[in-house]
Amino acid sequence: MSQDLLSHLPDNQPVAVTTRRSVSRDFLRPYIMIAPALIVFLLFFLFPIGYMIYLSFHEWNFISPEKTYVGLENFKRLVADPLFLEVIRNSLVYTFLSVFLTITISLALSLWLNKKGWIYSFIQGAVFSPHIISLVSVSMLWMWMMDADYGLLNWFVEKLGFEKVPWLTDPKFALISLVIVSVWKSVGYYTLIFIAGLQSIPKNLYEAASLDKTPKWRVLTKITLPMLSPTLFFLTIIGLINSIQVFETINIMTGGGPVNSTKTLVYYIYENGFVFFKLGNASAAGVILLIILTILTLIYFKVLSKKVHYQ
Amino acid sequence: MASITLKGVSKVYDNEKKVVEKMDLHIQDGSFTVLVGPSGCGKSTTLRMIAGFEKPTEGEIWIGNQLVNDLVPGKRDISMVFQNYALYPTMTVRGNIEFSLENIKIPKRKRKEMVEEIAEVVGLTEYLEKKPQHLSGGQRQRVALARAMVKKPEVFILDEPLSNLDAKLRGQMRTELIQLHKRLGTTFIYVTHDQVEAMSMADEIVILNKGKIMQQAAPMALYNNPKNTFVAEFIGTPAMNVLPFEEIRVDLNIENNPAITHFGFRPEHGRLVHSEDPQIFTLRYPSKIITRETLGSETIYLIENKLGRQHIKSTEPPLSEDADLALCIPVEKIYYFDRQGNRVEKENEAFPYTLQNHEKGGVKI
């Protein structure tokens, strides 16, 4: 053991220092050094997760002193609850739509904006600006824009000669409307990361491709996209993880309605926990969210180490 | 196959720095031409203009009998080996070689045949399914060559292709490239900053400095007849010793001659003799050795005397560093240069008459 601990020392280090006392001190020192960070981590990360898992097997209303153990009852109830299934469906639809649209639009934008010239920098800045606005302001802004009667969007829609769209008040449109807001907010940031990725592709490859008489679409599919795959993959996973946790826009813009059509997992957890005080239910849903996120993260690292090309 | 002609080609960048200035260059069909010069001399820019990656600010570029100024790189019938190889990292070796063939829609069976034939030539057959990052530097180099060769281009462009290889491999690849050029008979344009590479591979060398051609000639012609001090000092290891003329003017009994300001001699032409040896050369200067590099077959000395410091190369057994020595310079081996650094040749009327006699032999008169 002491050998292992000291193996990082140079060979010519005097062996005399390996007395029992100094070994134990050497053993402890790194732990003392990281103790502050470790305590914060345990207290604010691991403990809440553990407590959530604990609560998911109990029934509790936040106030009463006793927590009743119910085993897997909370989970069983969730799985049987049609509302919860709709919540999961909403979350998945929202997540995949917003990630797919954000990635596609920002990829297209980055391919267009990856040029020199003030106009491109300007557009890049303009597209990026929503990213620095707080989600609450964004939500308020879009609530006004999407207002069925006085909103900017419907003004345009009417000008174009169509019927007004009930953006946030019709179950058919509400989730899509939230996706639009999410895409609008994140496209700039994604574009920026994509441009950084594009700029790290060696120019020589494109020169070689031009000597090889490569048609444009083949340059895109055979060189740009494969070389961009690390960025593409990174953004996809980050997007999935972020979107599945969507909360602020829903809380402000729709409150999960109309008719639960925009109720997603995190909003469901919030509602159960802090509105209905069904802590057991909320925790069980939280555990399910945790499992989904864990799977996504695992996929991220697994695929990262294999499929994606890294230079 | 095609020749390449540059007519008054200049390249000026945004910051108004002239990288290439009014260059006239003719590269013969089927030749192995090496563009060589110090970094920043414009050799890579010239190459990139020929390939079509840069547009010349003025002038014309001809490949064969076609003006290519406005032709995209893909239509110039050129293959290029890049300094960092620029292999497509996401494709296998086969994919890399095959890529250009796929682009021009050559049928699969024919492609396979061509790739395998080329792989055989460059010795890559067993690596065809590997990705470039799993190959060594030398193997990547071969992939880059194979990728360039498979297209059977009119012109081969090689941009410092050996600079990322270790010394031994570089020597080996040099011979392979020479053989390859012999077999293909295609025009090769090769850029390097290494004069040894230039001397050993080229049919013709173009020496560039500050965007201008200093001299274009066959390797030995450059070596024996440098047109200016830049070429004289660039070619040869160590470089030619170029020194002020005044000192030897007196020793050679020449009247003041404003046309000549410098003289030079090659390190291997200077001779180190013991000071007690009989005096057989006109120019003889007591010298001391400052450093000595023994390379086995030859020894390179840095010596100092009243002319200044010079390099001397000798194939004789190494002399001891504290020996009492003198440097002898055979007069017929001396080159003369004017104030601008241009060579003053024997035929030039500024060439001193007295020296013409010396040209007949270095023996003391």
Q: Clarify whether residues A52 and A94 are in a common domain.
A: no
pLDDT in tens, A125-182: 888 888 888 888 988 999 888 887 888 888 888 888 888 888 888 888 888 999 999 9
Closest residue, chain B, to A212 (C-alpha): B100
Chain B hits for A209, CB-CB cut-off 8 Å, are 88, 99
Q: Say if CB B101 and CB B91 are below 8 A apart.
A: no
Q: Clarify whether residues A105 and A239 are in a common domain.
A: yes
pLDDT in tens, B323-338: 788 888 888 888 989 8
Residues 124-143 of B with CB under 8 A from A: 133
pLDDT in tens, B190-231: 999 888 888 888 999 999 998 889 999 999 999 999 999 999
Chain B hits for A225, CB-CB cut-off 8 Å, are none
Cβ count near A218 (within 10 Å) = 16
As a whole number, mean pLDDT of residues A62-78 equals: 82
Q: Can you tell me the distance from the alpha carbon of B229 to that of B210, in angstroms, rounded to the nearest whole number?
A: 14
Chain A hits for B51, CB-CB cut-off 8 Å, are 207, 211
Residue A250 lies in a domain: yes
Q: Nearest Cα to B44, choosing from B211, B195, B202?
A: B211
Q: Clarify whether residues A124 and A230 are in a common domain.
A: yes
Q: How far apart are the first and last CA of chain A?
A: 38
Do A207 and B133 make contact, defined as CB atoms within 8 angstroms? no
As a whole number, mean pLDDT of residues A22-37 equals: 85
What pLDDT, on a 0 to 100 scale, did the predictor assign at position A310?
52
B35 min Cα distance to partner chain A (Å): 20
Residue A311 lies in a domain: no
Average per-residue pLDDT for chain A: 85
Residue A248: exposed, middle, or buried by beta-carbon count in 10 A (0-12, 13-18, 19+)?
middle
Q: Clarify whether residues A50 and A196 are in a common domain.
A: no
pLDDT at residue A1 above 50?
Answer: no
What pLDDT, on a 0 to 100 scale, did the predictor assign at position B361?
44
Q: What is the widest separation between alpha-carbon atoms in chain B?
A: 79
Q: Clarify whether residues A106 and A251 are in a common domain.
A: yes
Q: Clarify whether residues A182 and A274 are in a common domain.
A: yes
Residue A242 lies in a domain: yes
Residue A262 lies in a domain: yes
User: How sure is the predictor about A3, in pLDDT bands with cuts at 50, 70 and 90?
Assistant: very low
Q: Clarify whether residues A162 and A212 are in a common domain.
A: yes
Q: Does B356 touch chain A (CB under 8 A)?
A: no
What pLDDT, on a 0 to 100 scale, did the predictor assign at position B365?
34
Q: Clarify whether residues A111 and A26 are in a common domain.
A: no
A163 min Cα distance to partner chain B (Å): 49
Residue A151 lies in a domain: yes
Q: Clarify whether residues A27 and A129 are in a common domain.
A: no
Q: Say if CB B10 and CB B58 are below 8 A apart.
A: yes
Q: Nearest Cα to B35, choosing from B137, B161, B136, B134?
A: B161
pLDDT in tens, A256-270: 778 888 888 899 999
Average per-residue pLDDT for chain B: 86
C-alpha of B144 from chain center = 22
CATH number at residue A187: 1.10.3720.10
Q: Clarify whether residues A158 and A289 are in a common domain.
A: yes
Q: Clarify whether residues A123 and A169 are in a common domain.
A: yes
Counting the structural domains of chain A, the total is 2
Do B86 and A218 make contact, defined as CB atoms within 8 angstroms? no
pLDDT in tens, A270-305: 988 888 888 888 899 999 999 988 998 888 888 776
Residue A63 lies in a domain: no
List, for chain B, all residue ranges whose pLDDT scores fall below the cut of 50.
359-365
Residue A68 lies in a domain: no
Q: Clarify whether residues A10 and A148 are in a common domain.
A: no
Residue A64 lies in a domain: no
* Eight-state DSSP code of residue B75: G
Which value does ipTM take for this structure? 0.80
> What residue numbers bound the domain in which A52 lies?
2-56
